[in-house]
Homo-oligomer: A and B are copies of this chain.
């Protein structure tokens, strides 16, 4: 399961992606429209800001907006920021590789082989689906990415 926090992050980003150009959205507006606890959302957006996904304007008339284009923000990228590694085993993670406890021979590990397939399949989807794709026409989203 992905965390509640990650779900909130996706909801917020989808909301921001639907804004018109140069329009901003306040934390409290996103919080109420997306059913997210305001103070929690604050932290999430701040985190996304630090990672270069969104930007903010302070003071009156301030708010949040995307920094990158919606078509440049992948689900994988966001999930890694909020929830950490996508790989189901530490030994399969690119961003946080670690040998599994008590595993001597990684190359021979049968468990690793099976979950390597899962990881590949998951990455192919999440790293090739952007916020823009998700908002776009559902029919289009089903067209294979690799022609």
Contacts and interface: CB of A to CB of B under 8 A. Distances in A.
A43 B14 CA distance: 43
A141 B129 contact: no
A103 B7 CA distance: 11
A121 B125 contact: yes
Contacts of A124: 121
A59 interface: no
Main secondary structure of the interface of A (DSSP, over half): helix
Contacts of A87: 1
Contacts of A122: 118, 121-122
30 contacts: A1-B85, A1-B87, A1-B88, A1-B89, A2-B88, A2-B89, A7-B89, A7-B100, A7-B111, A14-B110, A14-B111, A34-B102, A35-B102, A35-B103, A36-B102, A111-B134, A113-B134, A113-B138, A113-B141, A114-B125, A114-B126, A114-B134, A118-B121, A118-B122, A118-B125, A118-B126, A121-B121, A121-B122, A121-B125, A122-B122
